[in-house]
Structure 1
Amino acid sequence: MSRTPFPRLLAACLMLLASSPAPCEELNSADTAWILTSTGLVLFMTVPGLALFYGGLVRTKNVLSVLVQCFAVTSLVSILWMVAGYSLALTDTGPWPAVLGGFSRLFLLGLDADALTGNLPESVFCMYHLTFAVFAPALMIGSFVERMRFSATLWFTLGWTLLVYVPVCHWIWGGGWLAQLGVVDFAGGIVVHTTAGIGALTAAWRVGPRRGFPGTLMPPHNLTLTAAGAGILWVGWHGFSAGSALMANGAAGVAMLTTHIAATAGALVWMAVEWSRFGRPTLLGLATGMIAGLGIISPAAGFVGPLGALAMGILAGGICFFAIHWVKRKLAIDDALDVFPVHGVSGMIGSLLTAPLAVKALGGSGLPTGLDVLQQVGVQGIGVLVALGWSGAASLAILTLVDRFNGLRVGADDETEGLDLSSHNGKGYHL
């Protein structure tokens, strides 16, 4: 009887162990490090990124009010996420898991250092999604700046987060009924941009236009601040897109690459359209086109290839440019900082284009749903329409209640004086 030498036996055992699948609930340090980094990047997008971007776009007398709102919304939504938002959005232990999550993580009880979600600490997973929950309502601030009461902003944020963001997040990212239907959203085209976009448009319409709109020019007071904020958004968006792979892998790399390509294409196309129509390219146009490109790639970043990202960025730069004029001139709605035409429109278009541009013939990875392209487009359309309808109706209801019991708008004298002094007893500049 032959005897196997010990070194050969040891090598065979090691090979067998290496070929065995790793346990699904085992912490991966590399993935954890990347999602921790991505979490910081996404939070960096809101404060200071969005705060500076929006702050530079308003008039001098209202810059502090925008910064206050961004910081306050970030703080409020973070507490809401801790108390109930995370549990209701991203757990499936409740009695109606297709519609809403459960109560197992209320106040984040039981979420300790050893709790895992997949191969990540659950605390990291929770914190990463908290930054998305913060960014969505913060986006809406841009639509009603310079005239909404600060208390109304807080009440609207509270109601919108719990009644709009949390359920839509669960429906798509928490295994709810839209996910079961086959809706995909890699990094927030529906969950963040579509819901916030229509919520912003509803708020701008319900609050009413700023005094002097549309006849009075209201130019940005400090495009230097806006450029700094836009740059932060561009860098931070990679945490948004590449982080949504939830792993430090090739999908994250593709998502980062496609995000950058879409942003650059959007910026260049917006610049070209603006140059052609008005004779000069502007910094604001480049920055806005870049953000439109970031918005359109969000639902598709991990599914499409570079060619698909280029096509999406080109479309974003052109379509969103004309959407601004449609909202302000045709609809006569004072969406002050163009939240719906830039974020809402780009998010919806990107969600619909995800299926046809994710095909492998165009360099995409395909979609995991098993549906063909036409079926997936139809399912994506359902997801977009549901998010539009739910967010629009709920936003209108919340705003109506806030107006009745608190009031939405500051007085005419306060608006004329500026919200910095009238609401926050300060000035952005002492010259």
Structure 2
Amino acid sequence: MTLAHKPGSIVGTPFFKAPTDYPDSPLSKALQQPVLLGLFLPIQAGGWTNSTLPRSTDWRFDYNRDLTLKAEELGFDLVFALSQWLPKGGYGGVFNGQALDSFVSIAAMAAITKKIMLISTMHVLYGPWHPLHLAKFGATLDHISGGRWGINVVTGHRAVEHEMFGWNRIEHDRRYELAAEFVEVLQRLWQDDENFSFSGESSWKLNGGFVTPKPNYGRPILVNATGSDAGISFAGRYSDIVFVTSPAGSDIASALEALPAHTKKVKDAALGVGRTVRTLLNPLVISRPTEKEAWAVADQIVARADSRTPKGFQTFNSDAQAWKGREGRDDPYAKVGGNIYLIGTPEQIVDQFVKLKDAGIDGLQLSFFDFKPDLEFFGENILPLMKQAGLRNA
């Protein structure tokens, strides 16, 4: 069989089965929760916060393994890690470029966890990746994890990343056309029972490709992080979960105004092709027993903001639109990190979670400033209130 794509098209194939088509899949079970709960692992130096204030947060594997096991103990649904390719020095300052690889580090969690879903971020258009490689690796991880592993499909970010692989930068929307071919080939390799040949717009060719064993639940979990029209169209056709950001900046009030229309646009893109997607947002949470204590921590973080890092961000030309509009906003607390920041008592944090759910957010991918103690505090003080508020099943 040969699959040929019309140039410039994004072709969704509705007969491919997704994990949500299987009631006993880990994803289907997780979606029984009123709100998905995830942890954004800090596998990169600096975590998610541009500050020199001392903390335990560490990019090393042992630290992130411990966080993953604690999140699983607390009943979190998934952990998630970014992928980045940076030259020496990274973005500068605390974001110095030290980082584990997302695919390998998340894969290493598969054999030491039992319930939590594991999402690797992968730049599918960089370097040597071929769909046949990833189809085999993904099917293997699907079996090791019992269907808990998934891919956050990324098409590219800053120009320096393409250049590191010796590639000319690919235009933004064109990247999604190529990623669509990549994902369709993946799905066919995961689900076709015959050898499969492929010739399309990309440089990938297949002549009698085949993968066995097949994944347990149709295919691994597919995630996409996007904010552009092309990315939203791609996510609607292929993704189970869409990692969204606030188009209006990182303060909660602005986010709550902008998110209803944005999440509706994302979900409508899926409904238009007969699918359903869930939205996931990344809040960075700073919570203490009193509001005064929580804001005092935030003030300390901002006071120790690393002035070397913003200059580094500006040197890497990016056309990624998921975080578009955030840089340059006159909000000092944006320095605490996260796509949005939530600061306050446990009761105030949960109240903001409720409002985010009402704004169309289906899941919270949490990050923290000081991950280990903050995750402990979350489990002891915030999670019980989420259950009382109907955000998590008891």
| TM-score, scaled relative to structure 2 | 0.27
More strand by share: 2
Q: Which has the higher helix share?
A: 1
**Please, what TM-score do these two structures have when normalized by structure 1?**
0.25
Tell which structure's C-alpha radius of gyration is larger: 1
